[in-house]
Amino acid sequence: MPVPQHRHPLAAAELIVITCGSRKLDHPAPAGELYTGAYHRACRRAAEALQPRRLLILSSVHGLLGLDDIVAPYDLAFGAVGSIGPEQLAAQARDRGLLDLDPVVVLAGGHHFRLARSVWPHALNPLTGLGGMGRQISHLNALAKDLG
């Protein structure tokens, strides 16, 4: 039986931050369209099913992106020279008035989550401990279906 959204513990999220992805379109596009990989799409569907007040994408190059922000494709992983770091991410969150939001939910893998927790130490990640990407995608798809 589906869990009513108003009762799901993640449904109260003031902010959901989702992963970007290595698979992208080959031309500039809104961030909400640029990332084409299965993992990103599963995170996005689950996030949208939760209907957060705010939904942002965490990009390894640009940091926090709104779904409508126009972004050119890039190929740079987190931790590489030129990728966003904790200080830059915190400055972006401060500039957007996001530092004091609670709860914050991160739908992403470990590296994205650790970076997000450097800004929001109280952030939640329902994917923690689920294992590999396949299991996480299954969990995300089930969450989206249950709330949809």
Res 52: pLDDT: 86
User: What per-residue confidence (pLDDT) applies to 1?
Assistant: 42
pLDDT at 10: 81
How confident is the model at residue 147, as a pLDDT?
81
Q: Would you state the pLDDT for residue 3?
A: 45
**Distance in angstroms (rounded) separating the CA atoms of residues 116 and 72:** 23
pTM for the model stands at: 0.90
Q: Which mean pLDDT values do the consecutive 10-residue runs of the chain (148 residues) have?
A: 55 91 95 96 94 94 96 89 93 96 93 94 92 92 86
Q: What pLDDT is attached to residue 7?
A: 54
- Give the integer Cα–Cα distance in Å for 135 and 139: 6
Distances (CA, A) of 120 to 15, 105, 138: 11, 9, 26
